[in-house]
Amino acid sequence: MRWIIGNWKMNGTRAEARQRTRELLRALPPLPEGLHVAVCPPYTSLGATAEVLTPPLELGAQDVSWQDSGAFTGEVSAPMLRDAGCGLCVVGHSERRQLLGESDGMVAQKLRALWRHGLLPVLCVGETLAEREQGRTEEVLRMQLLAALEGSSPADLLVAYEPVWAIGTGRPAHAADSARGLGVLRQALDAVWGADGAGVPCLYGGSVSAANCAPFWTEGRADGALLGGASLDAQAFAAIVRSAAEVRP
Ligand code: PGA
C-alpha cells in the first residue's frame, strides 16, 4: 500500500479548505490499486473539508489527544476525529515534538488512542541537523520508533521518515538518505512486529515537491510521501500523486 498525505498545518480558512479540496479532487488522476491520497486540514476546517470531500480522497487530522474525553482544555480526542469523518491522523510530527514538548511517551499514548478507535496513525520520526552531524541518525530513528511501539501488538500503521532539517526548508533529503532512513525503520519494525512489520508503509517527508518527488519512489524506497507546503497547492499536490501513480511498485 502507498500513501500521499497532505498536511496543511496551521493554514487557511474553511472557505479555503473547501476550495482547495474541490480543486484537488478535480486535478487528481485515477488512482492505481493500493495508492491512497489524504488531506489533513486544521481542526477548524475538518468539517468544511468533509462537506466537499469525496472518494478517493481521504480525511485525516494533524494531532490527537491520548485521552478519549474529559477536562483537557484545547484537546481533541480520537472519537471526536472519527465523528468529524477522519480515517487517519498524524502523530509525533517534529513541529509538535520540538515546539510543543511532545515526548516519545505522549506519542506512544496517542498511537494507542488512535488504535482504540480504529483510526490509522501516521507516525512521524526524524533526526535533527545536530543529530545528523553527530552521526546519530540511525540511533535516533530506531529509538523514536521503538519508544512509540514498545509493548504494542501489530496494528494498522503508517510511518513517515521526516528529517527535521529537510522540513519546510526547500532542501529535501537525497533519495539515498531516504533509502537509508527507511531501511533503519523497516529493520526496527521487523524487530518489534516481525513479519507484520513488513506490511507497514514507510513514507518520506520533508520539502517534497512536484519537481523533486520522482526519485523518492524509486531510489528513495518510499511507499509515498507526507507533504507540507506542496499540499497547499492543489495542482502541485495532484502532480505529486500523478508521479507516484506512474510508478509500479
Ligand atoms: P514540507 O513539510 O513538505 O513543507 O517540508 C513536510 C512535513 O512537515 O510533513
CATH number for the domain harbouring residue 135? 3.20.20.70
- Give the SS3 label for residue 44: helix
Q: Whose CA is nearest to atom 1 of ligand 1?
A: 228
Q: Whose CA is nearest to atom 2 of ligand 1?
A: 228
According to the model, what pLDDT value does residue 167 have?
A: 97
CA distance 135 to 25: 42
* pLDDT one-digit tens code per residue, 93-121: 999 999 999 999 999 999 999 999 999 99
Describe the chain by its helix, strand, coil percentages, rounded to 5: 45, 15, 40
Annotation says 150 is catalytic: no
According to the model, what pLDDT value does residue 51 have?
A: 98
Mean pLDDT in residue range 146-168 = 97
Does 205 sit in the ligand 1 pocket, CB within 6 Å? yes
- Mean pLDDT, the chain, integer: 97
According to the model, what pLDDT value does residue 85 have?
A: 98
* pLDDT one-digit tens code per residue, 185-231: 999 999 999 999 999 999 999 999 999 999 999 999 999 999 999 99
Does residue 148 contact residue 92 with C-beta atoms inside 8 Å?
yes
Residue 86's nearest CA partner among 124, 125, 113 is 113
Largest CA distance in the chain: 48
- The tally of domains found in the chain comes to 1
67: pLDDT confidence band, cut at 50, 70 and 90?
very high
Radius of gyration of the chain (CA): 17
Atom of ligand 1 nearest to the CA of 124: 9
Question: What percent of the chain lies above the pLDDT cut of 70?
Answer: 100
According to the model, what pLDDT value does residue 216 have?
A: 98
Does 200 sit in the ligand 1 pocket, CB within 6 Å? no
Q: Whose CA is nearest to atom 6 of ligand 1?
A: 228
According to the model, what pLDDT value does residue 249 have?
A: 72
**How far lies 11's CA from each of 6, 8, 234, in Å?**
12, 6, 14
DSSP state of 200: S
Mean pLDDT in residue range 19-26 = 98
CA distance 52 to 66: 29
Domain with 30 in it: 2-245
Does 229 sit in the ligand 1 pocket, CB within 6 Å? yes
60: pLDDT confidence band, cut at 50, 70 and 90?
very high
According to the model, what pLDDT value does residue 218 have?
A: 97
Annotation says 162 is catalytic: yes
CA distance 136 to 151: 24
248: pLDDT confidence band, cut at 50, 70 and 90?
confident
Does 226 sit in the ligand 1 pocket, CB within 6 Å? yes
Does residue 25 contact residue 58 with C-beta atoms inside 8 Å?
no
* Amino acid letter, 118: G
**Cell numbers standing for residue 113:** 488512542
132: pLDDT confidence band, cut at 50, 70 and 90?
very high
